[in-house]
Amino acid sequence: MSFELQASVRARNFDMALSLAEGETVAILGPNGAGKSTLLGVIAGLLRPDAGSARIGHKDLFKLDGRTHFWSPPHLRGTALLAQEALLFPHLNALDNVAFGPRSGGASKAAARETAQHWLAEVDALPLADRKPSQLSGGQAQRVAVARALAAQPELLLLDEPMSALDIHAAPLLRRVLKRVLRDRKAIIVTHDILDAYMLADRVIVVEKGRIAEEGSTRQVLERPRSHFAAGLAGLNLVSGTIASEGITTPDGRVFAGQHDPDWSPVPGQAGVAAFPPSSVSVFLGDVHGSPRNSFPVTITDLEPYGDQIRVRAGDGHSAQALSADITPAASADLGLVPGMEVRFVVKSALVSVYPA
Amino acid sequence: MRISRKPFAAVLVAGALAASLGACASGTTRPSTGSASPGSAMSGEITVFAAASLKTTFTQLAKDFEVQHPGTKVTLSFAGSSDLATQITQGAPADVFASADTKNMAKLADQELVDGTATNFATNVLEIAVPPGNPASISSFADLAKPGVKVVTCASQVPCGAATKTVEKATGTALSPVSEESSVTDVLGKVTSGEADAGLVYVSDVKAAGGKVKGIPFPESDRAVNTYPIATVGTSKKKELAAAFIANVTSEAGKKVLMDAGFGTP
Amino acid sequence: MIKRSGYHGIPRWIYGVAAVGGLLMVLPLAAMLLRVNWPQFIPLITSESSLAALGLSLRTSAASTVLCVVLGVPLALVLARSEFPGQRLLRSFVLLPLVLPPVVGGLALLYTFGRQGLLGKSLELAGIQIAFSTSAVVLAQTFVALPFLVVSLEGALRSAGSRYEAVAATLGARPTTVLRRVTLPLVLPGLASGAVLSFARSLGEFGATLTFAGSLEGITRTLPLEIYLQREADADAAVALSLVLVAVAVAVVGLSYGRRRSSSPVEVGP
């Protein structure tokens, strides 16, 4: 049973279409305000789009167009939602929280508790069954919330940044639990964290400004990002332009020379991007001798420690594309770099990947 | 107390309290010192505490008095007789007290708060008050005891209720009222709104209600005649003026005003 | 009480004004205590009419509290959780009895449920007579007490937010199930304190009852009406009964605050 959705919300400048195959987990990545939570709200039935449709298998969730106005309420959708905070019902203990879904589905009290125990065990939280939510740590509460969502037997599980409110020690355990329970399950996980996408998702969708910016397998998106957001997550500089014989040409006419896959023959004029890691960028003062290619003037905006390196962030004065260079602290001190300084970035073309956008 | 070290706050609060107390009091009394010239008996201001049922008549009588005696000013305060008696006991600055019953006047006399003996200046008897259409077709006191007739009376604790009980006893007609109200106003309210078929109040109350209720006199009412006494309050500083006002009430002209309003003469 | 440590930022003169404010509340009660005829206190409050009034007051207040809960919960939910045209107007009208003189409320009820009233005529045809009955007392008390429950519950509903309800719905719970198993348990403290306030307000109701229901021992003469009447005849009885009313009110309010302190507040995330 697949899931398909197409929806637009004018007030939020939201317009997306996506689908999930049976058993597929998709990670939604994107900056704040990109429309990730709107997407989950529309699917769960908490937010009504202006137009669109969605269905799981043959079951319509909603169908809103000029003629039909079908809108299924949240409790009939089978789309359990797990939010940033566990939101366990404070007046019920962990077991009864997990039993809530089966009870609402019509199960007897005893049967619901049995189901609840099963799912508490699945998330390694059976010993917490009798505790009230106020007696649980953030990580424990979130695991119980996962069990509660799964106990409702959702056809599609929606996870809205489930790890973001947890402290750094609690997140890995929950991530392991999620990896186990999301296997072969239809789920959409909204996340900020590239690690979640790596570990939990089969596919990644990057959203920006209410639109899908790119999608593909997690590996593909991270190795060959086409959106600035994905490039940022992958830790790559990304320059977009049009394919030229040697690489790409930026809108302001600068040429980025680079390598491309041997099995791809570039078509000049096609939209393309050039990606390169900050470590491939060198910083120079004044004019550079030798190869003039992949050398361009920038203005330093920020300097910050990055591992044992210094990350130099710079805005390209012409195309306003933000680029980064990683250099050693010693080099930075030698050059006397400070924000606002005009320097020259030089990128080795052997380390630049060029591919179609 | 810390407050003594902060005179600003203390004065502020005391001032506010004084202002609000003054505001509360001004409804019933006005300062009687200052403007009065001590030499003349027929000038200055007096405060008259009168039973609520005397509102119309005493407002008229006070106006007449002020016209006959230029330079005088009569301030009136109307309330239930027992309320007024309590206020006078607590030191309220009244010069004249006109009660709707002899009991409350006697209460003050016992505490030596009135001068001499009180003068009875009016009487009042009960009358049946019905809504204008007289929906239950009441024509006699006995009709009030008919089943299905909704009668409202005063509670026996208040004068009009005590009078009702007296008439019931004297005639042997026991009423079962649907409500026993604390005041004539409440009885009339139930009748004018049509909630009750009939109410028992004083003749003067029926008159004062104008066309909102219809009065039905009944002969048995003379078994409970209510007497209104008036007297000068012992603590008054304007006794001559007070006496003149009482004389005005008991004069022929005064009696006429009272009779026009339905009161009888003692 | 002044905390021993920590800065509380209250100017010292505030204590003086606060003391005056406190005295304004406490002194009249103390003055009343002084006026109580203690040797006769027990006989006065256990007289037949006093017990009848007390019993009637407790019964009618309990009934009107139940009515307030039954009608007030849906009203508060509609006001707090939904949006519809005229909602602000409806809220203003629901809150009106808070500021309306009770006598005005009584008149309004009279013109609605009285014999000549808007609904009264039809009710009388149906054989239902409200005026001069205990139902009239309950109606008057409900009229003045309902805003207390609605205000208190609406506040609780708003501060609790509706995120738990959203989660419950995605878990497959029907709206009625969500209300019963999530919303009401979450706002139970607010509902309880609202009910207590309604009970206390019902207990003290006077003006609307006097105007609308009348005053007959055992039927419509509640404790406040009995006090008002006794004041005419027997001041000692009035004072003794007033003290009983104060004691009951203090017990009710104390109970509510005690409960609110002891129960842990609902945790609502940021």
Q: How far is it, in rounded angstroms, from Cα B229 to Cα B227?
A: 6
Give bridge partners of residue A243 from the DSSP assignment: A248
Asked if residue C85 has pLDDT above 80, the reply is yes
Q: Is residue C109 part of a domain?
A: yes
Asked if residue A295 has pLDDT above 60, the reply is yes
Q: Is residue C170 part of a domain?
A: yes
Give bridge partners of residue A7 from the DSSP assignment: A16, A52
Asked if residue C226 has pLDDT above 80, the reply is yes
Q: Would you state the pLDDT for residue A17? A: 95
Q: Which residue of A has its CA nearest to C176?
A: A104
Interface residue C210 vs chain B (CB under 8 A): yes
Q: How far is it, in rounded angstroms, from Cα A151 to Cα A129?
A: 14
Structure tokens given for B248: 């005005």
Q: How many C-alpha atoms does C236 have within 13 Å on its Cβ side?
A: 10
Our CA dihedral for C248, C251, C252, C255, rounded to 10 degrees, sits at: -170
Q: Would you state the pLDDT for residue A5? A: 95
* Summary mean pLDDT of chain A: 89
Q: Would you state the pLDDT for residue A67? A: 87
Q: Would the CB atoms of C166 and A152 count as touching at under 8 Å?
A: no
Mean pLDDT, rounded, for C252-269: 57
Reported as a pLDDT band with limits 50, 70 and 90, residue B17 is: very low
Greater model confidence, A166 or B54: B54
Q: Would you state the pLDDT for residue A319? A: 45
Reported as a pLDDT band with limits 50, 70 and 90, residue A231 is: confident
Q: Would you state the pLDDT for residue C102? A: 84
Q: Is residue C157 part of a domain?
A: yes
Asked if residue A180 has pLDDT above 70, the reply is yes
**Nearest-CB residue to C110 (from B6, B17, B195):** B195
* Summary mean pLDDT of chain C: 88
Mean pLDDT, rounded, for A130-143: 94
C:19-58 residues touching chain A, CB 8 A cutoff: none
Q: How many C-alpha atoms does B169 have within 13 Å on its Cβ side?
A: 9
B:196-235 residues touching chain C, CB 8 A cutoff: 196
Interface residue B82 vs chain C (CB under 8 A): yes
Greater model confidence, A348 or C181: C181
Asked if residue C262 has pLDDT above 80, the reply is no
Q: Would you state the pLDDT for residue C126? A: 85
**Nearest-CB residue to A89 (from C170, C182, C188):** C182
Q: Would the CB atoms of A100 and C181 count as touching at under 8 Å?
A: yes
User: What is residue A61's three-state secondary structure?
Assistant: strand
Positive or negative torsion for Cα B69, B72, B76, B81: negative
Q: How far is it, in rounded angstroms, from Cα C135 to Cα B75?
A: 43
Number of A/C CB contacts below 8 angstroms equals 74
**Nearest-CB residue to B13 (from C17, C228, C231):** C17
**What's the CATH number where C175 sits?**
1.10.3720.10
Q: Would you state the pLDDT for residue C266? A: 43
Q: Would you state the pLDDT for residue A79? A: 93
Mean pLDDT, rounded, for A139-146: 94
Asked if residue B244 has pLDDT above 60, the reply is yes
Q: Is residue C266 part of a domain?
A: no
* Summary mean pLDDT of chain B: 84
Structure tokens given for C74: 């849906």
Q: Would you state the pLDDT for residue B218? A: 93
Q: Would the CB atoms of B9 and C17 count as touching at under 8 Å?
A: yes
Mean pLDDT, rounded, for B233-259: 92
Q: Which residue of C has its CA nearest to B157?
A: C233
Asked if residue C83 has pLDDT above 80, the reply is yes
Q: Is residue C21 part of a domain?
A: no
Reported as a pLDDT band with limits 50, 70 and 90, residue C261 is: low
Q: Would you state the pLDDT for residue B28? A: 39
Q: Number of helices (H) and strands (E), helices first, in chain C?
A: 14, 0
Q: Is residue C14 part of a domain?
A: no
Structure tokens given for A5: 């959705």
Asked if residue A212 has pLDDT above 50, the reply is yes
Q: Judging by beta carbons within 10 Å of its beta carbon (0-12, 13-18, 19+), is residue C209 exposed, middle or buried?
A: buried
Q: Would the CB atoms of B180 and C216 count as touching at under 8 Å?
A: yes
Asked if residue C241 has pLDDT above 50, the reply is yes
C chain contacts of residue B1, beta-carbon cutoff 8 Å: 16, 19
Reported as a pLDDT band with limits 50, 70 and 90, residue B23 is: very low
Q: Is residue C226 part of a domain?
A: no
Asked if residue C59 has pLDDT above 50, the reply is yes
Reported as a pLDDT band with limits 50, 70 and 90, residue A316 is: low
Q: Would you state the pLDDT for residue A219? A: 85
Q: Would you state the pLDDT for residue C205? A: 92
Chains in contact with C, counting 3 or more C-beta pairs less than 8 Å apart as contact: A, B
B and A touch with 3+ CB pairs <8 Å, answer no
Asked if residue B121 has pLDDT above 70, the reply is yes
Greater model confidence, A254 or A58: A58
- Regarding pTM above 0.80, the answer is no
| Distance in Å from the first CA to the final CA of chain A | 31
Reported as a pLDDT band with limits 50, 70 and 90, residue B199 is: very high
pLDDT digits (tens, 9 = 90+) for B30-53: 444 433 334 445 788 999 999 988
Q: Is residue C84 part of a domain?
A: yes
Total number of domains in chain C:
1
Interface residue C269 vs chain A (CB under 8 A): yes
Look at strands B119-124 and B126-130 and give their pairing: unpaired
C chain contacts of residue B152, beta-carbon cutoff 8 Å: 214
pLDDT digits (tens, 9 = 90+) for C125-146: 888 888 889 999 999 999 999 9
Asked if residue C268 has pLDDT above 50, the reply is no
pLDDT digits (tens, 9 = 90+) for A81-92: 998 899 999 999
Q: Would you say A140 and A125 are in contact if contact means Cβ atoms under 8 Å apart?
A: yes
Q: Tell me which residue range forms the domain holding C191.
A: 59-220
C chain contacts of residue B177, beta-carbon cutoff 8 Å: 216
Q: Would you state the pLDDT for residue C260? A: 55
Q: How many C-alpha atoms does C47 have within 13 Å on its Cβ side?
A: 18
Asked if residue C220 has pLDDT above 70, the reply is yes
Q: Which residue of A has its CA nearest to C187?
A: A91
Mean pLDDT, rounded, for A133-153: 94
Looking at chain A, list the stretches that DSSP marks H as alpha helix, in order from N- to C-terminal side.
Answer: 36-44, 94-104, 109-122, 138-151, 170-182, 194-200, 218-223, 228-234, 329-335
Mean pLDDT, rounded, for C97-126: 86
Q: Which residue of A has its CA nearest to C183?
A: A89
Mean pLDDT, rounded, for B219-242: 92
Instruction: Quote the ipTM score.
Output: 0.81
Q: Would you state the pLDDT for residue A290? A: 56
